[in-house]
Amino acid sequence: MQYFSLILLLLTVLSGLVWLFDVVFLRKRRMARAGVGGLPAREPWTVDYSRSLFPVLAAVLLFRSFIAEPFRIPSGSMMPTLKVGDFILVNKFAYGLRLPVFHTRILSTGEPQRGDVVVFRYPLKPSEDYIKRVIGLPGDTIRIRGEQIYINGKLVPTQLVGPYQGGYGRESRLLEANGAMVYREHLGAHTNEIAEMPQIAMGGTYQSPTCHFENTHDGTCTVPAHSYFVMGDNRDNSEDSRFWGFVPQRNLVGKAFMIWFSWRGPHGIDFKRIGTMIH
């Protein structure tokens, strides 16, 4: 996605400059020569293509940069909310307008709320885009004990829905094989479903001046200013803030809000998921 944005920006600028150069410097000369020789003034193919492509490229660039951008879900870390093969739309206006490629925020339009599903540039490798759910806001103290999350000392309420069932692909089979249970979680104004299979919880250690996690089930953390603590909905199979730390505000790409297409591989298109709003 990062390279596509750069290529799109370069093509837009190049086609615009070629068209502008022709309008300012070349067109009058071409028309004058045509008038003398009595032949029609034909545009060079570079000018013809640039004039045709520039409005289209500019419209796509503006739409992707400031309104909405499509993304594909490559892993199962957000199941059951999002599945591998889902194609989603991300609201680029939700957290501020940013310059394409450079990511500099030029207008603040809002900040993430607890429970938002956000796309962001992975802090350890900004060329990669990740998608997770916001758990902790700046200044929050996050405590995880077992499968329970406490925010500022208050337990995040959950209700058992039942065993994970259905789905397709390797990630769904892994959830079913390990007896995953689905819970309904309440994060602020958001209500969403999560999957838990603690018997195969990911291990690892993350430490910083404000955070210490021995593994996914044991840790305490204070979220710094202008940063966010995020987790996947597939709680025991998600590489998230418990492993690599916080998401800086400058890394935010936007808020995921809708599934516009869903591909099940050999099983074809999942029409039931198309148009589903993301909560």
CA 159 to centroid of chain Cα atoms? 27
Decide if 208 is catalytic: no
Which residue do the tokens 């993350």 mark? 206
Q: 86 in helix, strand or coil? A: strand
Q: Which of 15, 50, 65, 77 is catalytic?
A: 77
**Cα radius of gyration rounded to whole Å, the chain:** 24
Q: Are 261 and 222 in contact (CB under 8 A)?
A: no
Torsion of CA 226, 185, 121, 87, to 10 degrees: -150
Q: Which of 50, 65, 83, 132 is catalytic?
A: 132
Decide if 132 is catalytic: yes
Output DSSP code: residue 251: G
Amino acid symbol at 121:
R
Residues 61, 39: Cα–Cα separation, whole Å:
38
Which active-site residues does the annotation give? 77, 132
